[in-house]
Amino acid sequence: MSSALRAALFLPVLIPMVAASALFMFIFLPNVGLLDYYIGRLLPVLPNWLGDPDIALYAIMIITIWKNAGYYMLFFLAGLQAVPEDVMEAAHLDGAGPYQRLRHIILPELKPTFLFVIVIAILNAVTQVDHVFVMTRGGPSNSTNLVLFYIYQQAVEHYDVGKASAATLLTLAALMGLTALSFRTMANREGGP
């Protein structure tokens, strides 16, 4: 049963981002899309998921979550399995409640996992652009524009290679910093106390 659940959550990781975006285009379609068709009935005003500058970014976030959650789940799965059993057993014997076990044992044990996943998630968010490309092309009113898409726009749509290169370098510097951080967290995870 739990493996079936895992498979369900992991399935989106297996399909390419472009395919997922195309799928979610239909889900977010105004009025006739999956979301409006069902959830829209409960709301008095139908939101224009990808067309409203206030909402579009959240719509983009939804697909990113749907797509990546299964991937991060794997790390947490490993992290949870690495929680020492004797400590948990001791907690049970001492009569620690669910909240106490979570707060004082599981979460501290998962700290490296959290750090790692946060870094990976940030890297993913910065380096994934397919969904923006397919779904909104940065619009409306640039509300879903991301660094990477901006670079693409400058380079390919406006032929401004200088600006695109400058933006790439800045992004790269930020990513380098992030990677250094991620290496440190990974080192902590592998060999640290």
Shortest distance (Å) from residue 98 CB to other proteins: 4
Q: For the chain, report the end-to-end CA distance as a whole number of angstroms.
A: 35
Considering the complex, state which of residue 117 and residue 152 has its C-beta at the smaller distance from other proteins.
152
Shortest distance (Å) from residue 32 CB to other proteins: 5
SS3 per residue for the chain: CHHHHHHHHHHHHHCCHHHHHHHHHHHHCCCCCHHHHHHHHHCCCCCCCCCCCCCHHHHHHHHHHHHHHHHHHHHHHHHHHCCCHHHHHHHHHCCCCHHHHHHHHHHHHHHHHHHHHHHHHHHHHHHCCHHHHHHCCCCCCCCCCCHHHHHHHHHHHCCCHHHHHHHHHHHHHHHHHHHHHHHHHHHHHHHCC
Considering the complex, state which of residue 21 and residue 113 has its C-beta at the smaller distance from other proteins.
21
Considering the complex, state which of residue 18 and residue 111 has its C-beta at the smaller distance from other proteins.
18
Shortest distance (Å) from residue 175 CB to other proteins: 5
Considering the complex, state which of residue 108 and residue 179 has its C-beta at the smaller distance from other proteins.
179
Shortest distance (Å) from residue 160 CB to other proteins: 5
Shortest distance (Å) from residue 114 CB to other proteins: 18
Considering the complex, state which of residue 8 and residue 108 has its C-beta at the smaller distance from other proteins.
8
Shortest distance (Å) from residue 66 CB to other proteins: 7
Considering the complex, state which of residue 23 and residue 115 has its C-beta at the smaller distance from other proteins.
23
User: Is the Cβ–Cβ distance between 51 and 33 less than 8 Å?
Assistant: no
Which residues would be at the binding site for other proteins (CB under 8 A)?
1-2, 4-5, 8-9, 11-12, 23-27, 29-30, 32-38, 45, 48, 50-51, 53, 56, 66, 69-70, 88-89, 92, 97-98, 123, 127-130, 133, 136-137, 139-141, 148, 151-152, 155-161, 168, 172, 175-176, 179, 191
For residue 150, give both structure tokens.
């901006």
